[in-house]
Amino acid sequence: MEWVRHFWNDLVMRPEGPMAFRFILQPAMALFMALRDGIKDARRGREPYWVYLRHADPVERKRAWQAGVTATARILLLGVAMDVIYQLRVLGDFGHPLETLVVAIVLGFVPYLLLRGPVTRIASRRMAAAGSSKP
């Protein structure tokens, strides 16, 4: 259980230490990508992203997860790179790959998943309202 304490301690200390800007940069990049992809979904008439993640068909659900990972690959890679630099610079080695993965997922992938669906719904409503107001 020592590794759990160490893991938690490292994660809690990170937002205040060196390279703290990544706690802003990664979610901001996730927001940008969710905006871009959510608007594309609305233009194509697709359902909000979370509908596919909850879809009963395992093939469709897997496809949705793969699309989410592909769409956020840059964000995930940015998060991994920033955490590797953090570990090398502050901790002196890259000895915590699990922490790197958790930080990248929590700061990049999760915000993307949470934001893409609402962006799609809002964009769809605005497009429908704009379409109904045309003569």
The DSSP letter of residue 71 is H
User: What confidence tens digit (pLDDT) does each residue in 54-106 have?
Assistant: 766 788 778 777 877 787 788 888 888 888 887 788 778 887 788 888 888 88
pTM attached to this predicted model: 0.73
64 and 52 Cβ atoms separated by less than 8 Å: yes
Cβ neighbors of 134 (< 8 A, separation 6 or more) are: none
User: What confidence tens digit (pLDDT) does each residue in 107-123 have?
Assistant: 888 898 889 889 998 99
- In this predicted structure, the answer to whether residue 35 has a pLDDT above a threshold of 90 is yes
HSE-CB for 98 with a 13 A CA cutoff: 6
Looking at this protein, which amino acid is placed at residue 31? L
Say what the pLDDT of residue 39 is.
Answer: 92
108 and 27 Cβ atoms separated by less than 8 Å: yes
- Mean pLDDT (whole number) for 32-36: 90
Look up residue 10 and give its two tokens.
Answer: 């490292």
